[in-house]
């Protein structure tokens, strides 16, 4: 097999033996009299000088240690209260939410993707939480925000934020994934990095009152109630149908995310949390819950977020985000610094329960090893996995495959296509492949 694979993937032209780039030759000439220059001239230091070329080192040691920098010898800055809210280091500005060029025409009905390639653990920093707006976002005065519960209830009620925040609350960690996450991968590879292939997923701790608490308080009709409709207060007044079992199970009417109030672009001051279900159901700026006995066929469950099947039908109300995983480092359009050891790391999640196991392959799915799961392992939450890998510098194809607590195994893209065709946009949870080329660059490929 490895012969077949390398035939196909060994497309990178290897450099001739003893090759040095013109820049490298110039470096070597300049440094001839130095310690490293001597090593280079002898041909022994090529590899050492490349991936880590910035670590120029004199014979007696490294400047970073031997010469004391300003931050060690000077006075530091005053408490960081310029605007009273801390920000990431200026060295971290590359990790940002970004749009995918050409994906949407209007910024108010658009997406910004979470930079999964640079995140750690399972919690998404609130400022990097992905965004999806249908009609722009608002920063609503919380003292004027109201939640109404109406329909098949004994008491149609109105709650202020004061009322809601006095109720018994829960804090739970859950992932939220847009139903269209990884949509581009239904067809051919179109986007370079994990930010754009998988960045419409985030994971946070949400705090709020259980929806079941509110429905009990309002005396919902246990015999007749089959569904609830959740509705937003913004211009789009997003509406989604949720079945009553789900509503009474683990849905949260949430005001907080990661220890502070929700960010405005994520629904401040109130949003619905529907664990395991696609993000469109997590209605932002939540203003109304209606208890009913029929599905509502709202725009986003009758025109969008429906699965186009090969026979021309559409599956409606397919909201579960099934088991999925992706390697975040190394991932698309990253470049490895050198051969040798890597801690391959990634994320796994399931809308049906918790992650039981993640396997990783470095040979395009021929052989698999089980990864280490880093705690915590929580239901309907991101789970971090790691696995050791020593790269020999030859082309390799990295994949991860998650298995959840129901025993469901994350499928390959051809298995998904065999059932659902290629016209679908939503609910693409296939195994992702990253090709590591001999030049160290990683690229998005489809291998199954």
The interface with another protein within residues 311-340 (CB under 8 A) comprises: 311-320, 322, 329-330, 332-339
Structure tokens at 73: 């010898």
Q: Indicate the residue among 98 and 263 with the shorter CB distance to another protein.
A: 98
Cβ atoms within 10 A of the Cβ of 184, count?
A: 18
Q: How far is the CB of 106 from another protein (least distance, A)?
A: 6
Q: How far is the CB of 316 from another protein (least distance, A)?
A: 5
Q: How far is the CB of 326 from another protein (least distance, A)?
A: 15
Instruction: Round to whole Å and give the CA distance between 278 and 324.
Output: 13
Contact status: 191 vs another protein (CB under 8 A): yes
Contact status: 448 vs another protein (CB under 8 A): yes
Please, are residues 148 and 289 in contact by the beta-carbon 8 Å criterion?
yes
Contact status: 166 vs another protein (CB under 8 A): yes
Contact status: 374 vs another protein (CB under 8 A): no
Indicate which single residue of 308, 374, 377, 386 sits in contact with another protein (rule: CB under 8 A).
308
The interface with another protein within residues 81-110 (CB under 8 A) comprises: 90-96, 98, 100-102, 105-109
Torsion of Cα atoms, 12 then 18 then 24 then 29, to 10°: -170
Instruction: Round to whole Å and give the CA distance between 2 and 5.
Output: 5
Site string for another protein, 213-242 (x = CB under 8 A): x--xx-x--x------x-x---xxx-x---
Structure tokens at 159: 């709650």
311-339 burial code (b ≥16 CB/10 A, e <16): eeeeeebbbebbbbbbbbbbbbbbebeee
Contact status: 63 vs another protein (CB under 8 A): no
Q: How far is the CB of 67 from another protein (least distance, A)?
A: 20
Instruction: Round to whole Å and give the CA distance between 301 and 287.
Output: 19
Indicate which single residue of 112, 124, 182, 193 sits in contact with another protein (rule: CB under 8 A).
193
Contact status: 42 vs another protein (CB under 8 A): no
Helices (H), 67-172: 70-73, 161-166
Indicate which single residue of 34, 126, 386, 443 sits in contact with another protein (rule: CB under 8 A).
443
Element (H, E) at 50: helix 46-51
Contact status: 373 vs another protein (CB under 8 A): no
Q: How far is the CB of 167 from another protein (least distance, A)?
A: 5
Q: Indicate the residue among 68 and 297 with the shorter CB distance to another protein.
A: 297
Q: Indicate the residue among 259 and 443 with the shorter CB distance to another protein.
A: 443
Please, are residues 215 and 156 in contact by the beta-carbon 8 Å criterion?
no
DSSP 59: T
Contact status: 386 vs another protein (CB under 8 A): no
Q: What is the DSSP string of 282-293?
A: S-BTEEEEEEES
Structure tokens at 300: 């986003």
Q: How far is the CB of 407 from another protein (least distance, A)?
A: 9
Site string for another protein, 113-152 (x = CB under 8 A): --x-xx---------------xxx-----------x-xx-
The interface with another protein within residues 266-295 (CB under 8 A) comprises: 276-277, 287-288, 290, 292, 294-295
Contact status: 80 vs another protein (CB under 8 A): no
Site string for another protein, 15-34 (x = CB under 8 A): x---xxx-xx----------
Q: Indicate the residue among 259 and 407 with the shorter CB distance to another protein.
A: 407
CA distances from 291 to 245, 252, 280, 364 (A): 12, 16, 19, 48
Instruction: Round to whole Å and give the CA distance between 207 and 254.
Output: 5
Q: Which stretch binds another protein (CB under 8 A): 71-79, 122-130, 255-263, 405-413?
A: 405-413
Contact status: 297 vs another protein (CB under 8 A): yes
Q: How far is the CB of 298 from another protein (least distance, A)?
A: 7
Q: How far is the CB of 24 from another protein (least distance, A)?
A: 6
Q: How far is the CB of 216 from another protein (least distance, A)?
A: 3
Which pairs from 255-262 meet CB under 8 Å and 24+ separation?
255/161, 255/164, 255/165, 255/207, 255/208, 256/171, 256/206, 256/207, 256/208, 257/126, 257/129, 257/204, 257/205, 257/206, 257/207, 258/123, 258/125, 258/126, 258/204, 258/205, 259/205, 259/207, 260/126, 261/142
């Amino acid at each position: 097999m490895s012969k077949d694979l390398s035939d196909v993937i060994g497309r990178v032209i290897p450099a001739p033996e003893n090759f040095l780039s013109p820049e490298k030759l110039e470096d070597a000439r300049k440094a001839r009299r130095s310690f490293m220059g001597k090593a280079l001239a002898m041909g022994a230091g090529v590899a050492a000088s490349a991936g880590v070329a910035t670590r120029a080192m004199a014979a007696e040691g490294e400047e970073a240690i031997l010469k004391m920098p300003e931050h060690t010898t000077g006075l530091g800055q005053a408490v960081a209260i310029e605007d009273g809210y801390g920000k990431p280091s200026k060295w971290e500005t590359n990790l940002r939410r970004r749009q995918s060029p050409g994906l949407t025409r209007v910024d108010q009905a658009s997406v910004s993707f979470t930079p999964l390639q640079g995140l750690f653990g399972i919690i998404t920093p609130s400022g990097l939480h992905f965004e999806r707006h249908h009609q722009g976002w608002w920063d609503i005065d919380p003292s004027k925000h109201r939640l109404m519960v109406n329909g098949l209830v004994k008491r149609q009620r109105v709650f202020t934020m004061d009322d809601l925040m006095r109720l018994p609350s829960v804090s739970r960690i859950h992932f939220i994934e847009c139903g269209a996450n990884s949509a581009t991968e239904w067809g051919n590879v179109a986007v370079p990095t994990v930010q754009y292939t998988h960045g419409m997923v985030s994971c946070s701790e949400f705090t709020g009152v259980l929806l079941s608490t509110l429905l009990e308080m309002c005396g919902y009709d246990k015999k007749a109630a089959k569904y609830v409709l959740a509705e937003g207060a913004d211009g789009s007044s997003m509406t989604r149908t949720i079945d009553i079992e789900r509503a009474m199970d683990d849905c949260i009417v949430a005001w907080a995310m990661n220890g502070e109030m929700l960010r405005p672009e994520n629904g401040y001051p109130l949003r619905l949390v529907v664990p395991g279900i696609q993000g469109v159901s997590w209605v932002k700026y939540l203003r109304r819950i209606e208890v009913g006995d029929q599905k509502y066929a709202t725009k986003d469950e009758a025109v969008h977020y429906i699965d186009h099947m090969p026979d021309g039908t559409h599956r409606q109300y397919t909201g579960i985000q099934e088991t999925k995983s992706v390697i975040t480092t190394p991932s698309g359009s990253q470049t490895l610094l050198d051969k040798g050891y890597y801690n391959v790391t990634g994320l796994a999640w399931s809308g049906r329960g918790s992650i039981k196991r993640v396997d990783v392959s470095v040979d395009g799915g021929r052989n698999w090893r089980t990864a280490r799961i880093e705690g915590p392992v929580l239901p309907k939450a991101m789970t971090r996995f790691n696995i050791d890998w020593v790269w020999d510098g030859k082309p390799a194809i990295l994949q991860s495959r998650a298995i959840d607590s129901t025993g469901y195994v994350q499928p390959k893209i051809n298995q998904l296509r065999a059932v659902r065709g290629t016209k679908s946009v939503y609910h693409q949870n296939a195994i992702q492949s990253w090709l590591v080329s001999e030049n160290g660059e990683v690229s998005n490929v489809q291998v199954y």
